[in-house]
Structure formats: structure tokens, C-alpha cells
Amino acid sequence: MVSSNFQATDAGAAILTAGGSAADAAVAVASVLTVVEPYYSSVLGGDTWALYYDGGTRDVTSLNAVGPVGSKATLEDYTPRAGEYGMHQAILPGAWDGWMLWLRDHGELPLRQVLAPAIDIARAGYPVSSEMTFWLTQQEQDIRNSPQLSELYLRNGALVATGQAVTQPDLAATLEALATAYDDGAAAAGETTARHAAGIQAARDYFYRGPLAEAIVQYSDQFGGYLTLEDFARYEAELVAPISIDWADGIRVLQNPPNSQGIAMLQALNILKAEDWSGRSPAEPDVIHRQIEAVKLAFADRFAYVGDPDRTPVPVEELLSDDYAAQLRGRIDMGSAAEWPIEAGLDRQSSDTTTFHVTDSEGNAAAVTTSLGGQFLVVGDTGIHINERMKFMSVDPGNVNVVAPGATVRHTSNPYMVLRNGRPYLLGGNTGVDTQPQAQLQQFMSVVAFGLEPQEAVAQPRFVSTAFPASIFPHPADNILHVETSFPPAGIADLRARGHNIAVGVGIFGTANMIELSEDGTVAQIGAEPRNQTASGVVVP
């Protein structure tokens, strides 16, 4: 398994060693990340898209744990506050219900055991990493303006420094209360096989129809948010069918369906798959240019068609058809860079994230990307860092991703899974808002098309296009190609000659983690993000 923090990786490994499943380990990892990386994700205040391969049935399901916009929201009220910090940016947090679905269907261990590492670390404390120092600095003014955040992250009036300890007693108490709700629910079921399911339902109810919903709604009412008790009571995460394309040689790439933006990665790969990549290198300017231009076309379609599928149907089958991919492929000019506005192709009208991956000895596999957005806001004395996902919606009434009560946001999280002859081959993800499908495509190509190992793939210099409206308000389309400082100078010169407006060393490049599995299902290779000092991968015997 692999994650962005060694404490989370260690927790997941301990759960696997104790007989837990990939689902148990995933929830343990996500819970520890909630504690040690509160700026990235939260099992309680955030949202999640994830893919799960069941080693027994060989089926893959996609977990949609993204809650709706609160029912008090209106476009008129939200628009003047769209760029402001606050509780009005939070959609209903869906992650917890999604994690409980995984444990209900695939878990082997009681919830208390799964949450124990996170509870222990939250109570005892953990050292501040250099990554955490960076993010706290970015959020310093918001921290100083919040009594809850100040208590957590200030020492004698200064931000906690790298190496200092942070404890989260309120968060520990909340996780403990959820574990107790599970225990009580399981006990009430008696000595039956339904104990685990009853305990999981009790933990779901404690959050969505009990004290935590009440606390979040009270805070929302106090500070101008849009969430109601009714919103919480009727919410349920979903297990849905993934979407996919065939690459070649029995390789199938799976993604999360809309309202996730994962379709953008699949569209770009569908454009690229007809090319002969043998003998090529990921650093060749022609290779890079073709990938960039394919990504731009995919993102133009994302902007035009991808939103809440319950409100505006998304033409998934058409967007992923081979005929349509051929049409888009013909629009790529190898000598010239396309710029926004880029027309959508169909004839229609219309970091602040973390990623981790787990496999177990039974052949189960989990690819996860879970997020808060970028806001740093704690709800009262719950210890819950809440999301800011409303900032990812449009205030343009004609946009498919427009703010509306009960709508679901076009979500940026989109981990991927690759099957080879029906069995897991690659599990991967990359953080960073609109960077995600682009960098994931680069890592997939590095391994599958160019033969690199996963660690080499995640270490490759990344390039990120912004030739489309950004996901986060105010949604600029900058027409800039961002490349890392390690990018080859000759490649930069070549791409500039084709018309790419290049910025070196600035941009959201995100963090990536990847697992490659051999044909027999054992872990062959792990790729842990080298840009992140705390990233860690481990093979559990």
C-alpha cells in the first residue's frame, strides 16, 4: 500500500496484518490522514471518489461519497459571496457515509479497531511536517481569525513550526463517539451475523441523523451556511458502476463517472491510444505536445457537458466512443498549441486533496482520492475540518455546473484503476484540482506506453495545461502550460516554438502515488511521491 504520509501507511499496514481487508485498511489510512494532513482531506468533513476491486467477484465498483449543495442555497445569495471564506462554501460532507458503505460490504474488523490508530495519534499528537508548515503558512490569516484553529495551530501567538507536536482532542473525541455508536449498535443486534451491519448503520446514523449532523447544522446556521438537518437525514452515499475504455492488449482503464471529472482522463487516453508509442520517450516534445493537446480537448468537453447527471444528462457513451476519439484526434495540430476558447466536440447544447491505494492478500484493491478543497475551517468543538466544495461550482446560470440547492458539484477527485485481463494492474491518483486527470494520464503513459517503473513514473517532471476554465472560482482560463523546474530546457524551447505559453516552476503539480501489480496479483512495484517528504509505501506480507 502507499499513501502521502508514513503514519497513515503504517496504520493501513497494521490493519492488513491484523486480518483486515483492503477496505478496512483504506478507512484506517483515510482516518489517520484526517488527523495528520487536515489541510488535504477529512473522513468526516470531506468527500470521496474511490474504486474498489472485489477479489472474490472480480467486480469493480465506484464509490460516490459526494454530498449535495445545501437546500438553503440560492444562486442569488451565494453569488456575491462566491469568493469569500466561510461555512457557506461547504456542501454536505459525504465521505463518512461512503467509508461506512465500504466497511459494511467489504470490512472484516470492528470500527473501533479501524479507527484506533487515528484516535491514538489525534490524542497523543504528531510532529508537524514541512508540508504541513507550508499549508499552515498559506492559511495563517484564517487560522488567526478562528478560535478553534488558533487553539490547534498557534503556540504563543506563532504558527506551530516543523517538528512541533499538534494534538486534536476534539477530533479524537468525535472519532471515539462514532466507534462507541458502532459498538452500541452491534451489541443491540445480539449474537447474530448482523452485528457488523447494525454497528455500521449506527455509526452512519450518529453522523447523519444524530449529534454530528446537529452540531454541523447549528454551526452552519450560525455562520451563514446552507445545510439543514433534512439534508443530512436523507443523504446516502452510492456505489455506482465505473466508466472505462479499452487501451490495448487486455488493458482496461477504469474511472469514476460524472459528476467526477474522471471522464477527462479517459477521453484523452482514448485520443492517444491509436498512436504507436513503441520506442518513444515521455520526454520527447512530440509526445508531450500530443498529450497536452488531447487533454485540452477533453477538458473543453468537461466544461461543456460534465455536471450533476441527475440534472443535466452527461453523454458518457458518446464522449468515450472510438469514433468520437478519432474525430478529436484529427483536431490536433502537431505544430501549434490550441488556446481557450476551444469548442466542445459534440453537436449539442448545453491541492487540497490526497490520494492513496491499498491491496490485500485476498486480491481486493482500493484506489482512493479524497478531499476537502482548500479551505481551513473547523466546525465548533467537533474537530471536523469542513470542505469548501461550493467554490468548485459556477455562478453562471447557463453552466451545467451551476449552484443550485440539492445539486452535486462537478467533482475534481478521480482516482483510476487499470485492469489487465480482468485483474488489477495499476492503482493510481494525483492530487491538485485540474491537475489530476492530466498528471494521471502522464503516469499511466509512463508505465504502460513507455515501460517505466511506478517510482520513475511519479518522479517524472509534470506539465499542466490551463487552457480551459479552472474548477475553482472565479474559473480563469489562463492558457498557460505549467512545467516543473526539472523539465528539460530543450523540450521547453521546442514547445514554446509551437506556441505554448510556458511558466516554469509555478503551478499546481500535485502529489501522486501508484501501485503496480504483477499478473498473479502480488505487489510488484510501488511509486510514492518524491516531492512529499512524508509519502510512504509498504508491501505487507
Percent of the chain with pLDDT over 70: 99
Q: Same structural domain for residues 319 and 427? A: yes
Within a 13 Å sphere around the CA of 234, how many CA atoms are in the beta-carbon half? Answer: 9
What distance in Å separates the CA atoms of residue 521 and residue 9, rounded to the nearest whole number?
A: 20
Q: Is residue 511 part of a domain?
A: yes
Q: Is the pLDDT of residue 347 over 60?
A: no
Residue 315 grid coordinates:
453523454
**Structural domain boundaries, residue 378:** 2-53+60-239+361-392
pLDDT at 351: 52
What pLDDT digit, counting tens, does each position of 88-110 carry? 999 999 999 999 999 999 999 99
Beta bridge partners of 354: 370
Q: What separation in angstroms does the CA of 389 have from each of 151, 276, 312, 358, 373?
A: 25, 40, 19, 26, 6
Q: Same structural domain for residues 428 and 379? A: no
What pLDDT digit, counting tens, does each position of 22-57 carry? 999 999 999 999 999 998 899 999 999 999 999 999
pLDDT at 352: 62
Q: What is the mean pLDDT of the chain?
A: 95
List, as one string, the DSSP characters of 238-278. Answer: EEE--EEEE-STTEEEEEPPTTBTTHHHHHHHHHHTTS--T
Q: Is residue 410 part of a domain?
A: no
Strands 523-528 and 512-517 come out as antiparallel
What distance in Å separates the CA atoms of residue 92 and residue 264, rounded to the nearest whole number?
A: 25
Q: Same structural domain for residues 290 and 426? A: yes
How much is the CA Rg of the chain, to the nearest whole Å? Answer: 22
Beta bridge partners of 517: 523
For the chain, give the longest Cα–Cα distance: 72
Q: Is residue 268 part of a domain?
A: yes
Q: Write the CATH number for 323.
A: 1.10.246.130
H/E element, 293:
helix 285-305
Q: Same structural domain for residues 190 and 109? A: yes
What pLDDT digit, counting tens, does each position of 409-425 carry? 999 999 999 999 999 99
- pTM attached to this predicted model: 0.96
Region class of 421: left (phi > 0), else alpha (psi between -120 and 50), else beta: left
Q: Is residue 23 part of a domain?
A: yes
pLDDT at 374: 72
Q: Is residue 345 part of a domain?
A: yes
Q: Mention every residue, 6+ apart, whose C-beta is less than 8 A from residue 458.
A: 443, 512, 513, 514, 527, 528, 529, 530
What distance in Å separates the CA atoms of residue 222 and residue 415, rounded to the nearest whole number?
A: 35
What distance in Å separates the CA atoms of residue 144 and residue 154, rounded to the nearest whole number?
A: 8
Q: Which segments within 70-137 are labelled E, that is strand?
A: 126-127
Q: Same structural domain for residues 97 and 143? A: yes
What distance in Å separates the CA atoms of residue 54 and residue 23, rounded to the nearest whole number?
A: 10
Q: Same structural domain for residues 134 and 180? A: yes
End residue of a domain, out of 343, 375, 392: 392
pLDDT at 131: 87
Q: Which sign does the torsion angle of CA 403, 468, 355, 42 carry? A: negative
Number of domain units in the chain: 2
What's the chain's length in residues? Answer: 541
Q: Is residue 469 part of a domain?
A: yes
Q: Same structural domain for residues 147 and 203? A: yes
Amino acid (one-letter) located at 516: E
Mean pLDDT on 292-319: 96
Mean pLDDT on 203-219: 98
Percent of the chain with pLDDT over 90: 91
Mean pLDDT on 126-148: 91
Mean pLDDT on 511-527: 90
Q: Is residue 413 part of a domain?
A: no
Q: Is the pLDDT of residue 343 over 80?
A: yes
For the chain, helix (H) and strand (E) counts, in that order, are: 19, 22
Q: Same structural domain for residues 169 and 263? A: no
Q: Same structural domain for residues 325 and 297? A: yes
Q: Same structural domain for residues 374 and 507? A: no
Q: Same structural domain for residues 216 and 294? A: no
Q: Which sign does the torsion angle of CA 56, 57, 60, 64 carry? A: negative
Q: Is residue 34 part of a domain?
A: yes
- How many other C-beta atoms are found inside a 10 Å radius of the C-beta of residue 123? 16
Map grid coordinates 516552476 to a residue. Answer: 505
Phi then psi for residue 483, to 5 deg, are -130, 150
What pLDDT digit, counting tens, does each position of 381-391 carry? 999 999 999 99
Q: Same structural domain for residues 460 and 380? A: no
